[in-house]
Amino acid sequence: MLELVPGANMPLPDGAVTVRVSGPFDVSALVTGDGGKVRDDRDFVFYNQPSAPGARLTGDLLTVDPPRLRPGATRVTVVVSPADPGTPLGRLPAPTLHLSAPGGHRLARFTPHPPRQETVLLLAEIYRRGGGWKLRALGQGYADGLAGTARDFGVDVVDGGGTATAPPPAAPRPVSPARPGLSGDRDGLLGPVNSARAHAGRPPVSLDPRLTTAARAHAAAMADAGRLGVEGADGVSVYQRMTAAGYAYISVGEHLVSGPRTAAEFVEYCLGAQQPRRTLCDPVFTQAGFAQVRDDRSGDVYWTALWARPLTPGELTRTAAEVVGLTNTARARAGLPPLAVDPVLTRAAQAHSADMVARAFYSHTSPGGSRPWDRAAAAGSTRRTIGENIACGQRSPAEVVDGWMNSPGHRANILKPDFTHIGIGFAGGGPAATYWTQLFGA
C-alpha cells in the first residue's frame, strides 16, 4: 500500500474505487469539468444529497466510478469538514484517506499535514489524464466552511445552509459561516484588474477556484504569522499551495501585499511600481485567484493574488522547444552543431523536474540517491556520456538559458562539443515555483 504525500499522484485501476475517511468528519465531493466548476448543484455530493452519476456517499465511504460520471466530468474533489461545524479541524486528529480498489484491495493511504484554523480540507482529487484516471493527494485547507468551498466551485449556496435547488428530503445541517476577511472576488477585484489590463492593451484574466483556494490558504498563513512571505509559518510556499490545490501551471506570478484595504487600493498599489504593474498586466497570464485576510491582532490586511497560465501538453512542448532553440542558438554562436531532441532524455529530464517539485528538493542527486546517468539509464537511454543542468525560480525559457550561459559549469555543458542530443524537463510548484532540467547525451 502506498503512503502518499501532498502533491503525489498515482494511477487508478479500472472500475470503481472507494475513499474512506473515518473519524469525526463529514465527507463530500464536487464533480467538475476541466474549468474547475460544477455544472449545477447536482454535482455536489454530501450528506443531504448522497449520490450523483458515478459518485455515491454512504456514511464515511465515497464510491467513485469514473466511467459512470456525468458527461463532461473530468474531476472529483474529495472534501472533508468537521461533523460538528463549529469545531476547527485543528482541534481534531488529521483526517486520513484510505483508497481501495474494487474488491476491497487497499491501494493507498494519505494523511495531510495537521490542519490549523481551517474548517474544510480539499483532501484529494480523482482526475482524468489522457485515457486513464489518477488520484492526486491535496491536503489544501479552507477557512470558509463548507459553504464557502462549495461557492468557489460554482454551487449556489444559500447563507445558513442548503442549496438553491429543490428542497432536500431532510432539513439541511448547518454550515459554518464565511470567515470575515476572506475573499475570492467578493471584494470585486476582478473588475478593476481587468480594467487595468484592458487599459494596457492586455486580454482579461478569469478566476480559477483552485487559484482562489491557494491564495486564500496563503493569505491566511501570512496573517497567522503576522508577516509577508512566500512561505508561511508552516513552511509551505505559495507555489506548493497551488500544486496542492490541483493547479498545474506553465507560467506563474504573485502579489503578496499588506496594507491596502479595498480592491481599488490593491490595484492602485500594483500599478504604482514597475514590477507589480508588469505582473498585473503580463499578457502571458490567463487565470487568477485572489484573497485577503485580516490579522485580528494588528488589524493588518494580507493580500495574495496569483496569476497563472495553466499547463497543457501543448504549452509544455512549446516551452521545451524554446529552451532547445535558445540552447542551439548559443551553440551556433560558438561554431558548434545543434543538439537533437531525444525523447528518452526528455522523459528522464521531465521526471526529474517533477520529482524536485513533488519532494521539494533541488539537486542533481535525488533523495533516493539516483544521479543523472542513473535516471537516463532507467528511462531507457543507452548513451555513453550524460550531462545535466538544473535551475529553479526562472520564469521563462530565455531567463533560464541566460542564467545557465552566465554560469561557467552550466555553460560548459551547453557548449560541450561531444554532446549530440538533449532532453528538457519543466515542472511548476515546490518552494521555488519553477524547476528546469537539461539532460545532455552523447
- Residues 424, 442: Cα–Cα separation, whole Å: 15
- Residues 60, 77: Cα–Cα separation, whole Å: 15
DSSP assignment letter at 46: B
- Given the DSSP bridges, would you call strands 386-392 and 51-52 parallel, antiparallel or unpaired? unpaired
Average of per-residue pLDDT across 22-33: 88
- The angle subtended at Cα 407 by Cα 404 and Cα 412, nearest 5°, is 80
Q: Closest Cα partner for 54 from 71, 69, 75, 72?
A: 69
66 CB-near residues (< 8 Å, 6+ apart):
12, 54, 76, 126, 128, 133
Task: Give the DSSP per-residue string, 156-224.
Answer: -B-TTSSBSSSPPSSPPPP-PPPPTT--SSTT--HHHHHHHHHHTT----EE-HHHHHHHHHHHHHHHH
pTM strictly above 0.75? no
Q: Is the pLDDT of residue 175 over 60?
A: no
Q: What angle, 0 to 180 degrees and rounded to 10, lies between the N-to-C axes of helices 263-271 and 190-199?
A: 30
User: Over the stretch 181-218, which tens digit does the pLDDT of each residue have?
Assistant: 334 455 578 999 999 999 999 999 999 999 999 999 99
- Given the DSSP bridges, would you call strands 287-294 and 206-207 parallel, antiparallel or unpaired? parallel
Count other C-beta atoms under 10 Å from residue 428's C-beta. 24
User: Over the stretch 284-342, which tens digit does the pLDDT of each residue have?
Assistant: 999 999 999 988 888 889 999 999 999 998 999 999 999 999 999 999 999 999 999 99
Q: Which of 62-71, 144-153, 241-250, 416-425 has the lowest mean pLDDT?
A: 144-153
Count other C-beta atoms under 10 Å from residue 369's C-beta. 7
Average of per-residue pLDDT across 270-277: 88
- Residues 415, 403: Cα–Cα separation, whole Å: 14
**Under DSSP, is residue 422 helix (H, G, I), strand (E, B) or coil?**
strand
